[in-house]
Each structure stands twice: as C-alpha cells, then as structure tokens.
Structure 1
C-alpha cells in the first residue's frame, strides 16, 4: 500500500479508494484476513488441548470494480474473528500487565531463535524494537477537511458552541486533550472556535453535560467530514443544532 501512498490515517471507516489504490487496499485486506486465519487464529489453543481460542470465519473477498469504500458491508465480507467473552473480559482487566509479559516472552523467543541460528541477539535489542513510538500531534487532515467543506459552501460549526466557523477562525480541538491522552484519531479531532479551544477548554476534559449538549454536533461533524463520498454531488445530511447562546458548556 505504501507504493500507492496509502497511509494509516487513510484507513478509516467511510474512506473511498479508486483505481490502483483500491486494488492495493483490497489485496492488503485479503492478505491480513488470510494471515490471521492461518496463523494466530489457527495456532492459538487453550492449554493442553487442541481447541482453538479464536474462531475465524472467512468468506470470499468482494470483487473490486474500480472503487472500494471501507464500510460495514465491505469489511464484513472479508470475514470475522470471534473472541470468547471470558477471554475478552480478562484482556480488559489485565491489559496493563499483558503487554509487558508479551514483550518479555517474545524477546526471549527471538533470542532463542538467534542462538540456534548462530546470530546472537543482545538483551534489550528486541525490547527496543518493540517499543511504542510516541504519537505525533497532527491535525492536518481534520483541518484540511474542514477548510475544504468551507470552500464548497458547506457550513462548519464549533461543536461546543454551535458558532459558525470560517477559514480564519477555525481551530481543531482534541476532544480528549492531548495532554491527558495523546490520541490523534479522527473521532477525537473536532472543529472549534479559537476562543473555546485556546481559552475556555484548552487541556481540560469535557464534562458529561458538555458532551451530551454537543452530541448532535459531534455526530454531524463525523458524518459530514468522514462519511460522504467526495466525488458525489448528493447533498450532505444535516442535523438540528442547538443555538450557540443556549448551549451549556463545562470543562474540567
């Protein structure tokens, strides 16, 4: 996919690919499905049994006819992976301890492979390769999408106040602040007025009441920014919004 300039942020629900890029994404999805089904889903067994932990259900990949949209129908067509409920709950509860155990075990395994192959691996080398990279703070995609909507004559409003935004009065707010959780996922990037983003909210968490009041505006932004087909001429769906003067705001 890199050869066709498909990057991580492109792989979002509602994204549309055409031509060679569509074919590259389709091949990657098919390969990922095959790898998951043939390897971890096949070889991960309950202790001292031949019973598989995960159940992979694969199906024939959809035929690509010039374009590919990553929606529920397309992704479901590639198959599914079922995780037993008790395993899922255990992973949720013990998540903070599972990752270091996996890193340690994988490092031990790689060093053992290296010794048998006559290629010794130093202690700490595998751990360094498996270290998480600090995420980059990047709002470019959300900002460029908002500006494109404005250029097309489509309204963009502050999700917290309902105020109309323009090219010179547009900020992209991290709903969950970057200082609290460095998350640059598209769902967390919301249009906001500079006054709200830089002075009122800043690095504060939104309260439950603020999120409830902004719910329709946030969903409308997601719908309008990420779901429409950019090449389509159909009108964008809109939702009723609260008036800017009547919306309650509270940030902690």
Structure 2
C-alpha cells in the first residue's frame, strides 16, 4: 500500500511516529480504508475529514493485470443517516484489512467519535487492524487517549500498541494500534481479587461493586475519563505521582444505586416487622443506615419508583419528613462506603498495577469530598446530591473492564451477596430466599402512566407504532421498552414507546438495530415531545439527563443529541450483552 510521498526529506516527530507505526502494522498491498486529513500520509484529499480506498500502486490487479491505483469514495465519516442507508452495505461488504485515521477535527464530538468507531468496526475484517493518530495539534482538549481506547474496547478491539511523542511546545501526540478480537473476555485481577480475596465482614463492598456495574450498564454517560488536564490536577491533589489514569463518577449516583439495592432487601421488613430480614453484617451488628432506610421506605409505603420520581422532580422539599429522611440516609450510606470499601478495597491485591501502592495498601478507590450534606438546604435533586457527596475515582482500566464484564458481574454479585447474607444470618434464610428479596419487583417496570398518555392520544387524535408506523388502537397498543428492561432495568419515560402488540412480542429482549432506530427517529422524537408537553415533562427531561444524556438537556434543539445518545446506548447494550439486534419485518403497505 502506497501511503507516503518519498520526496519528504524532513518530518516532525509526530509524522515520524505515525510512519513508524504504519510501516510496522500495515504492510504493502494491504486493502485499507484511510480516514482523516492525510497530513501525515499521501495528500489524498483536501477535506479535513475524507475517505479514500488505497492499494499498492505498484502491484498489478489480479484479474486485469493493471495497477489499481487509488479509488476515491466521496463520503465524510462518520456517515450521515442518508449515507448509512446508501453506502453502508457496500462498505461492509468491502471488508478492509486495515483502517487508518490520521487526525481528528478540533470540533469532533464524543458522539461523532462513537459513530466513527462503530463504522470502523463495520468495515474491518475479523482480524483487521485500526491505526489511530491522536495529534496534539488538532485533538479536542476534552478528549483523552483513554477515552478512545475505552471506546474501541467496547467494540471488541484490543489495544496492541501505544506510542507517544511530545512536541517542542509540550503537546503530546499519541499513536494507537488496535486489533480486532471480538471473542476476548478479560478477567482482570483487580475485580477478581475484590470478590475473592478481600475480607468479607459486611455486604457494603458487594453493594458498591454491584452499584458500579449497574451504573456501567445504564448510566455510563455520567461517567467521564479524566482529560490530561484533569488528570494532572488529580495527581496534584492526591499527591500520588504514579497513580494510574482515573475515571470519575458522581458519588451521588452511587449513593442512589446503593440505596435502591438495600431498599429491596429491607422493603418487606420495614413495612412488617415480623417479615424475615437477612443479616448484612457479621457478628450480629446492624446496617449503619438501617434506621433512615426503613424510615424512608415507610414514608413511601415501599414504593421505590414513587420515591425516585420525587427525587428527580425536585419534590423532596426542604425540611419535609421525606427530605430529611433521604438526607440522613444519603449521609449514612456515604459514611459507610467511605470508611469501608472505598478505603480498604484492593488492599489484598499485592502488586496489581491498577491499584495505588501506599501505606494503606493498594487502594483502588478514592473519594473527593463535595460541598457536604449540610449544604442540602434546598429541595433535593440529583445534581444537588452530586454536589454535596463529591466525586468517586477508580482506575480507568478497571472501568473499561466493567464495559466487558458488567452484565455477568451483576448476576454473580447477587449470588455472592445472597450467600454471604445467609451466612451472616446463620442459615435462618437460604441464599435463594435472599435472592428473591433482592430481585426488582414487577412494579418497578410499571408502564401504566405511559399507557394512559398513549390511550388519551388515540382517543383525541391518532397514534402510530414507532417501529412500523401502523396506526394503533386500544386493543393493539403495547408499551415497549426500546432498550429492553431485562438488560438495563431502565423504566424511564424516554425509553417507553408505543408499539403494536405483535411487534412488541417479536422484539422481545432484542435491541433495535441502528438502521431500525434511524428509520423510527421521527416517530421516536414525536413520542418524546408528547412526553415533554405532558404533566410529566419535567420528569421526562430529568430522566433523560441522568440515564441517557449524562448531561443537561438543552432547552431547545435537543432532538438530535438525544437520538445520538439513544444510538450509543443501544450499541453499548447490544455489545455488552452480545444480544441480537432487532429489525422489524417490512410491511407491504409502507
């Protein structure tokens, strides 16, 4: 493959880095797809982001005996909706040996990068190579190499080589080489050590790991990989110069998840003291936050969904009994986790490179304190809890492993938790009985409010299935979870769509394909706007911000960012669970 001009006599350190990796990983005559500005390769096009198919200009075509030269495709990656429909199949059939990306535009967003990696995955052969240059001169300031690595690993790539070079002005460029390895399942020593080696005197550690795994599955947009600047600040604050790269999670989100886990265990007992309650700590000790947890459960009659809606709508008014109970619970959970697994987790891992070596052992987790719970004088909402509770840090390589292992890890932890709780209870409850307590009840996937909204729409006008566009009637209406409930337990309004009963049965636990979501985009957005204009509009936006977007939803022109986030969420779910992508059957009248 001819990629460079031999007339260049001088080259920058970045050019040299890129050329070295190309010569090593992409041999001549390789059929490759080249993306980018071609600043460090042959001048293939003038556009900032272009696509060309390159082949060795000196090698004869096997059939005609002629040199194939350069074949150019007038596309811009990532592909738009129209280009996906027009060229997607042809690109997939091309099955390239390699993809070369030699630079990103400064305005390149993380959502667009996600689309680009998905399309790189689409066009590569099973054993293909992707070579990526993150050039400091054009790299977005918010984008770290760790984020790019994590994104490729989500799509089944393995990082084969990473090289960096620093320019005279102290800017660092990185060259990354990925190889396709879709069957690779990494069982990291850190996660295994946490489950197997660390002391088991309470269920707090299992609750923390399970909460992290669930956040990975359904709230990953709220987790960020530290940028180089943020990482420098982290190292300065922590005074640990050799700390591994970190990922950051709002501690308030972890507190919410942990509260939900224990809510299920204590729900029956809080409402009926005679109901059995499995012990959560050895030696007969009680849960540190048992009293505020039971008080909040009673105030809501055990209805977690009602509490969560109040929390996201800001209905926990300052000074109210419900607000005070939740503040007390959040403070106690934060204290129990900080003094327990956040401080001690990883101390048994020896010289694990992902842990932080220090006088306290090899600690995996750290907590940067927030404004404190005394600052919660307003009505409580997720953003206010995040501000009060601070930020939880863990090695980014550990979070990337959760990208692979979270689906099975959540189930494995549930079983381990049940066994440990049964042991603490001295066999008074069997592990199976504890699992039954921990299983989310059916009322947590309640869709009655959405159904009522859809029925009213049918009564006053008309409503169509998001998947096929056929008109719906009361007897044919089904409320469908776009991202299946069985995968992420996401019952938020943005995920509930009107569908035909038969279609809903056909879809079952399948995840809609990108093409399916593209075709349904207009109908999905109409449903979102129906929610926004309803009495639950505030809840719709709050849920979308937390579980889909991971950031504030714009007051207007939010439709495209939300669709981009939905496409990303569907891809992540399908990849993590290795589940089928669903395509609705075509109808003759459409």
TM over 0.5: yes
Unaligned runs of 5+ residues in structure 2 are 1-295, 349-358, 539-554, 561-581, 586-590
Given the alignment, which residue of 452, 455, 458 partners 1:147?
A: 455
Partner of 1:243: none
Distance 1:184 1:194, change over 3 A: same
Distance in 1, Cα, partners of 2:434 & 2:415: 10
Superposition deviation, residue 225 in structure 1:
2.3
TM-score (norm 1): 0.61
Partner of 1:125: 430
- Which protein is bigger by CA-based radius of gyration? 2
Equivalent residues in 2 for 1:210-221, closer than 5 Å: 210-221=516-527
Q: Deviations over 1:200-238 (max 9, x none)?
A: x45373332111222343344345426865599xxx989
Distance 1:99 1:230, change over 3 A: closer
1:79 maps to 2:389: yes
Given the alignment, which residue of 323, 330, 338 partners 1:41?
A: 338
Superposition deviation, residue 53 in structure 1:
1.3
User: Does 1 or 2 have the higher relative contact order (CA < 8 Å, sep 6+)?
Assistant: 1
Partner of 1:174: 481
Superposition deviation, residue 100 in structure 1:
3.4
8 Å Cα contact 1:160/1:192 also seen in 2: yes
Q: Deviations over 1:161-196 (max 9, x none)?
A: 445656565321233457x75946234421124464
1:16 maps to 2:313: yes
| 3-state SS, counterpart of residue 82 of structure 1 | strand
| 3-state SS, counterpart of residue 58 of structure 1 | coil
8 Å Cα contact 1:104/1:127 also seen in 2: no
Superposition deviation, residue 61 in structure 1:
1.4
| 3-state SS, counterpart of residue 479 of structure 2 | strand
Given the alignment, which residue of 89, 92, 95 partners 2:400?
A: 89
Unaligned runs of 5+ residues in structure 1 are 115-120, 241-248
| 3-state SS, counterpart of residue 142 of structure 1 | helix
> Greater strand share, 1 or 2?
2
Q: Pairwise CA RMSD of aligned residues?
A: 4.6
| 3-state SS, counterpart of residue 520 of structure 2 | helix
Distance in 2, Cα, partners of 1:150 & 1:22: 42
Distance in 1, Cα, partners of 2:556 & 2:474: 22
Q: Deviations over 1:36-85 (max 9, x none)?
A: 32111332223065357131533221413xxx6x4x64443443442312
Distance in 2, Cα, partners of 1:12 & 1:123: 35
Distance 1:25 1:8, change over 3 A: same
Partner of 2:491: 185
Query: Would you say how many aligned residue pairs link Structure 1 and Structure 2?
Result: 225
| 3-state SS, counterpart of residue 128 of structure 1 | helix
8 Å Cα contact 2:418/2:434 also seen in 1: no
Superposition deviation, residue 25 in structure 1:
4.8
Equivalent residues in 2 for 1:100-249, closer than 5 Å: 100=412, 103-104=415-416, 107-108=419-420, 111=423, 121-122=426-427, 125-126=430-431, 128-131=433-436, 132-133=438-439, 135-136=441-442, 138-147=446-455, 156-162=463-469, 165=472, 167=474, 170-176=477-483, 181=487, 183=489, 185-186=491-492, 187-194=494-501, 196-197=503-504, 201-203=506-508, 205=510, 206-222=512-528, 224-225=530-531, 229-230=535-536
TM-score (norm 2): 0.31
Superposition deviation, residue 159 in structure 1:
1.9
Q: Deviations over 1:116-158 (max 9, x none)?
A: xxxxx1286245314443653643232123335667x687543
Distance in 2, Cα, partners of 1:156 & 1:29: 40
| 3-state SS, counterpart of residue 83 of structure 1 | strand
Distance in 1, Cα, partners of 2:584 & 2:319: 42
